[in-house]
Amino acid sequence: MTMCRLLVTVSLLYVFSGQLAAAERPNIVFFFTDDQTTSTLGCYGNPVVQTPNIDAMAARGTRFENAFVSQAICWVSRTTILSGLTGRSYGTPDNPEQARPDAVQTLYSDLLREGGYRTGYFGKWHAKMPAGYRPQDHFDEFEAIGRNPYYKKQADGSLRHETELIVDRGIEFLKSQPADQPFALNMWFNACHAEDSDRRPGIGHFPWPQAVDGMYEDTVIAPPRLNDPTIFEQQPNFLKTTINRERFFWRWNTPEKYQTNMRAYYRMVSGIDGAIGRFTAALKEAGLAENTIIVYSADNGYHMGNRGFAGKWSHYEEALRVPMIIADPRVPQEERGKVADSIALNLDLPATFLDWGGVTVPQRYQGHSLRKIVAGATPSDWRTETFHEHFAVRNRIPAFEGVRNARFKYVRYFDHGNHEFLHNLQSDPDELTNLAADPAHQTVLESMRRRTDERVAELGGPLDPLKQPFTASTTPYPEASANVGARLDNDGFVSLFDGKTLRHWSGDSAYWSVEDGAITGVTDGSLKMNQFLTWTDSTIRNFDLRVQVKVTAGGNSGIQYRGRSRPEIGLDVVSGYQCDVVADNPNYNGMLYEERGRRILSHTGEKVVVDPAGHAWIVGNFPVQEFPADTWHDYRVLVEGNHHQHWIDGQPTADLWDFDETGRALEGVLAVQVHVGPAMKIQYKDFEIKHLSDSLPIANFADHAIPPQSVGVRPQGKLPKNWQPPIYAEAVSN
């Protein structure tokens, strides 16, 4: 051997000592979703959601039936994967949420880079790192892509969903990949996390990519499997009043809201699936598919109305269990499409990535490589027990710690009198019975209590006592669910506008701004479609709304209520009831109109009953008063059950009972609008609402008889010259 060849050989041995040769090292792609439980994927048994690309991944790979996170909250789960450590181990007893500098000085990506990998990271970061920490220093290519909002305006003025942007960056990463270097690419989605600050059902709360517009629109989603009220009632009070319950009223507390939000959530899942399909096609086109391992998982599970909860943050299976799919094209054909029963953790992923890359797994890592399981040879000493905990936001989310094995799960909520749970997962997989007080299970209880003590000591020891009192987030059964989390004044009203910003409102800034301390909508007369500004803090049901309004001459606006977002028309379009604001027509100013629905329900000055068939009949009148333009006027809208009343400056303008069960809405969003037509300026200030009881009764049609000589409300549009209003007695007889 020549001296030159000897030096090259020695150099290669030095560079790749303890590693695989470059040609043998696979590429690694990690798709990581947010807030996704296993029940929302086709390959895990969901019969409705369409996830063909993820299902295909499971069909050619390994689907883990028992994959869990050590702590079910975004930033802890994500930091666990980056560092290879549980939250208790990367933090400190007095501040466990904050990663110590030494714990995150070297991430798994750094070790892969040292081993010759090119690394990329695109998407949600959300890790509580030390001051001055620079995540971009730990990857060759890095771009944090967050939500708030999900839709990002592009250079050409178009909107692109963050899911699509993340995969766009991933495909760009592929296109610049050197042929002689392996890569590890992370695409960490924000979806399917709700837009928590936007509680408009559907497109507001769970925004989806436009590529899946309309999916599931006619699908009826099955109700939560564990939605029996007695299941919620069995929870201790500290769980019944926590954020899990508060957010239940944001998302799932009515059948209509549940259906709308579930369809939207499924669209987010299908949007991820479609983006993954786009990436895998690019991977094949680049000729890289046969040596690229693809991993799919989520940062935590998700309560989707089950047990009366929303979110995660609990010891129950819905929160801890996550999807995990690994497709390694190098494994034998007979090992593909299998379901692994071995217990996997998010802790295992960084060790697995390093193992695939031929990089030595640090001794400090607390997980184990899944490589052998994927290849079909589960190690004989594989774990039979896992440790789980929650300590994030301890002053509002009950903290717990405990262990789980194939048969039993034990946890204790250590800030709440060490309240203990013991569940038999074999006989009671839904964890409906707490055996902690059962004398027949005391031996098991004591054993698992000891194991928890041991694991706590091994992982960093007990946490410091709670520094501030625990704060309940809601009552279990609020009188008005829209008041959950709201700030009420002494009269029970909620301020909707701070007089300075459009915070808590959503609309196009080309039309909406704040001017002179008022919400201000302006159009130059060229509008082709009404433009809406929507309140995002909650839906509204029964309420008393007060607002001062000023509109210029020729102006036309309206206060939308109990509305519905219409993304098939436009992101900010709202349909539903409307108290009209019309400058130059006293017969329309303050009337009750239904945008993109039944249209005019009552003109100003008409007392109306809408019959069960949706026909509006005038049963009385009151004087019509003119209110001058360019002057502030007090508008009031009072809605109680199916009774609607409007006033301007104390003068009644509408009084209507709606008995049309098909056409009416009992809950929805609040919005204001600028209207097509002449140039105008509309302003709103001193905007406030009092949410009334959700349980106000719905009046019966039989108790509101329509006089025989009542005439029908004049419909909108041009009518024949000889048009005469229908008479109720004649309409009934026909």
CATH code for position 103: 3.40.720.10
Does residue 353 share a domain with residue 496?
no
Query: SS3 for 427-439, per residue?
Result: CCCCCCCCCCCCH
Asked whether residue 447 is assigned to any structural domain, the reply reads no
Q: Tell me the C-alpha distance between 366 and 373, whole Å.
A: 17
How confident is the prediction for the chain on average, in pLDDT?
95
Q: Tell me the C-alpha distance between 128 and 187, whole Å.
A: 19
What number of other Cβ atoms are within 10 A of residue 637's Cβ? 25
Let me know: does 248 contact 305? Beta carbons within 8 Å.
Answer: yes
H-helix or E-strand containing 268? helix 255-285
Let me know: does 665 contact 610? Beta carbons within 8 Å.
Answer: no
| CATH number, residue 521 | 2.60.120.560
C-alpha distances (whole Å) from 705 to each of 419, 609, 611, 619, 726 are 57, 9, 10, 9, 17
What is the DSSP code (8-state) at residue 261?
Answer: H
Q: Which of 206, 236, 259 is nearest to 314 (CA)?
A: 236
133: CB partners within 8 A, 6+ apart: 101, 104
Asked whether residue 536 is assigned to any structural domain, the reply reads yes
What local confidence, expressed as pLDDT, does residue 717 receive? 86
Does residue 365 share a domain with residue 237?
yes
H-helix or E-strand containing 671? strand 669-674
What local confidence, expressed as pLDDT, does residue 23 receive? 56
* 334, 364, 384 - which closes a domain: 384
Q: Tell me the C-alpha distance between 492 and 489, whole Å.
A: 5
What confidence tens digit (pLDDT) does each residue in 147-162 have? 999 999 999 999 999 9
Let me know: does 642 contact 657? Beta carbons within 8 Å.
Answer: yes
Q: What is the pTM of this model?
A: 0.95
Q: Tell me the C-alpha distance between 615 and 609, whole Å.
A: 8
Does residue 498 share a domain with residue 379?
no
Does residue 201 share a domain with residue 84?
yes
* 384, 400, 432 - which closes a domain: 384
Asked whether residue 1 is assigned to any structural domain, the reply reads no
Asked whether residue 514 is assigned to any structural domain, the reply reads yes
What local confidence, expressed as pLDDT, does residue 20 receive? 53
Count of domains in the chain?
2
* 358, 384, 410 - which closes a domain: 384
Q: What is the DSSP string of 301-365?
A: --EESGGG-EE--SSSHHHHB--EEEE-TTS-GGGTTEEE-S-EETTHHHHHHHHHTTPPPPTT-
Residue 541 sits in which domain range? 492-733
Does residue 282 share a domain with residue 137?
yes
643-648 and 159-161 as β-strands: parallel, antiparallel, unpaired? Answer: unpaired
Asked whether residue 76 is assigned to any structural domain, the reply reads yes
Tell whether omega for the bond before 379 is within 30 degrees of 0, i.e. cis. no
What local confidence, expressed as pLDDT, does residue 24 receive? 78
Cβ burial of 733 (10 Å; 0-12, 13-18, 19+) is exposed
* Helix 74-83 vs helix 348-356: crossing angle, to nearest 10: 30
Asked whether residue 442 is assigned to any structural domain, the reply reads no
**∠ Cα 271 274 276 (to 5°):** 110
| pLDDT beneath 70, residues of the chain | 1-23
What local confidence, expressed as pLDDT, does residue 734 receive? 78
Let me know: does 537 contact 691? Beta carbons within 8 Å.
Answer: no
What is the DSSP code (8-state) at residue 601?
Answer: E
What confidence tens digit (pLDDT) does each residue in 663-715 have? 999 999 999 999 999 999 999 999 999 999 999 999 999 999 999 999 999 99
Asked whether residue 185 is assigned to any structural domain, the reply reads yes
C-alpha distances (whole Å) from 47 to each of 50, 219, 255, 264 are 8, 11, 20, 16
Q: Tell me the C-alpha distance between 196 and 250, whole Å.
A: 9
Q: Which of 408, 297, 262, 255 is nearest to 37 (CA)?
A: 297
Q: Which of 416, 464, 383, 508 is nearest to 68 (CA)?
A: 383
Q: Tell me the C-alpha distance between 117 and 115, whole Å.
A: 6
Q: Tell me the C-alpha distance between 262 and 270, whole Å.
A: 12
* Helix 255-285 vs helix 243-251: crossing angle, to nearest 10: 90
Tell whether omega for the bond before 192 is within 30 degrees of 0, i.e. cis. yes
Give the full edge-to-edge strand order of the sheet including 62-64. 141-144, 118-123, 183-188, 27-33, 292-298, 324-327, 62-64, 338-340
Asked whether residue 4 is assigned to any structural domain, the reply reads no
Q: Tell me the C-alpha distance between 390 and 394, whole Å.
A: 8
The single residue listed with the structure tokens 């006027």 is 633
Does residue 496 share a domain with residue 379?
no
Does residue 695 share a domain with residue 556?
yes
